[in-house]
Amino acid sequence: MLSIENLRVVYHDVISVLNGISLEVKEGEVLVIIGANGAGKTTLLRTVAGMIGFYDGDIIDGDIKMNDVSIKELDSADIMKRYNLTYVMEDRPIFNYLTIDENLKAAAYSRWDNKIKTDMEEVLDYFPVLKPLRNKKAGYASGGEQQMLAIGMALMTKPKILLLDEPSLGLAPLITEELFGIIRKLNKSGITIVLVEQNAYAALNIGNRGYVVEMGRVVLDGEAQELLKNEDVREFYLGAGESKRKSYKDAKRYKRRKRWL
């Protein structure tokens, strides 16, 4: 349903981050995008969500198409309204000085229907940890609670596609596990999910397909299970490669990048 074609994005007119990236999101799947820091994953999500202009970035080439209609000229509010696409930014994008209730209400700003109240209860049922904190400032909640809230806020926008940017960042393993369980549940309820993750193992485990991004390009793609078995992915992103000891020289990733091309 969402396809990105040969997208090139430049920040401040000079810093080239996405160098002709192409990928395809199919309806109902969990798509995992993995890549090292600075590979351009976040930029990719920002661009799709229509927020690249805010960060002084420009699309200089390529196109983003939603059901074969170009959306690269639209801004974030339009994209959300027309295509129910919600972007959950990295690092828990919640409003620290608003209460949890207010956070959920603020997230429902783009909606004008009268079901907001019932939806709020539904979301809180989804994340029971948030219930006792409803009237507290969100800034005082723990990291896991904040991430739950962020996803809950995203649900308040009634998304069909959810772009999640590193939801597991800075969370304890147990909470990460719970979170990924929730993401799977969301997917089962019919939401297409694009998941950008550093925690490649957990992400690929719940994903259907995956892309590996390097230097603003897709270098590898395939079924999630296939990727999990891929030797390079195992070595670079899962930390488990061949068992024999390697020299530090080999460990330097930029020296070995050639292999991808």
Strand partners, 161: 85, 192
Does the protein bind other proteins through residue 102 (CB under 8 A)? yes
Does the protein bind other proteins through residue 98 (CB under 8 A)? yes
User: Among 66-74, 75-83, 123-131, 233-241, which window interacts with other proteins (CB under 8 A)?
Assistant: 75-83
Does the protein bind other proteins through residue 15 (CB under 8 A)? no
Nearest approach, Cβ of 145 to other proteins (angstroms)?
A: 17
Nearest approach, Cβ of 24 to other proteins (angstroms)?
A: 23
Is residue 196 a contact partner of residue 212, using CB atoms and an 8 Å limit?
no
* Binding residue (CB under 8 A) for other proteins from 26, 38, 82, 97: 97
Nearest approach, Cβ of 88 to other proteins (angstroms)?
A: 7
Q: How many helices (H) and strands (E) does the chain have?
A: 11, 10
* Binding residue (CB under 8 A) for other proteins from 25, 94, 175, 204: 94
Rounded distance between C-alpha atoms, residue 33 and residue 209, angstroms:
9
Q: Is the CB of 120 or the CB of 233 nearer to other proteins? A: 120
* Binding residue (CB under 8 A) for other proteins from 4, 10, 71, 107: 107
Does the protein bind other proteins through residue 49 (CB under 8 A)? yes
Does the protein bind other proteins through residue 93 (CB under 8 A)? yes
> Helix H segments across the chain?
41-49, 76-83, 100-107, 116-126, 143-156, 173-188, 200-206, 224-229, 231-236, 248-251, 253-256
Is residue 13 a contact partner of residue 58, using CB atoms and an 8 Å limit?
yes
Interhelix angle 100-107/116-126, nearest 10 degrees: 120
Q: Is the CB of 97 or the CB of 140 nearer to other proteins? A: 97
Rounded distance between C-alpha atoms, residue 71 and residue 47, angstroms:
10
* Binding residue (CB under 8 A) for other proteins from 42, 43, 47, 86: 86
Nearest approach, Cβ of 165 to other proteins (angstroms)?
A: 10
Nearest approach, Cβ of 52 to other proteins (angstroms)?
A: 11
| Cβ partners under 8 Å of residue 25, min gap 6 | 1, 2, 3, 31, 161, 192, 194
| Cβ partners under 8 Å of residue 203, min gap 6 | 32, 34, 180, 195, 197, 210
* Binding residue (CB under 8 A) for other proteins from 77, 172, 240, 251: 77
- Contact residues toward other proteins (CB under 8 A) are 49, 51, 53-56, 75-77, 80-81, 86-89, 93-98, 102, 105-107, 109-110, 153-154, 157
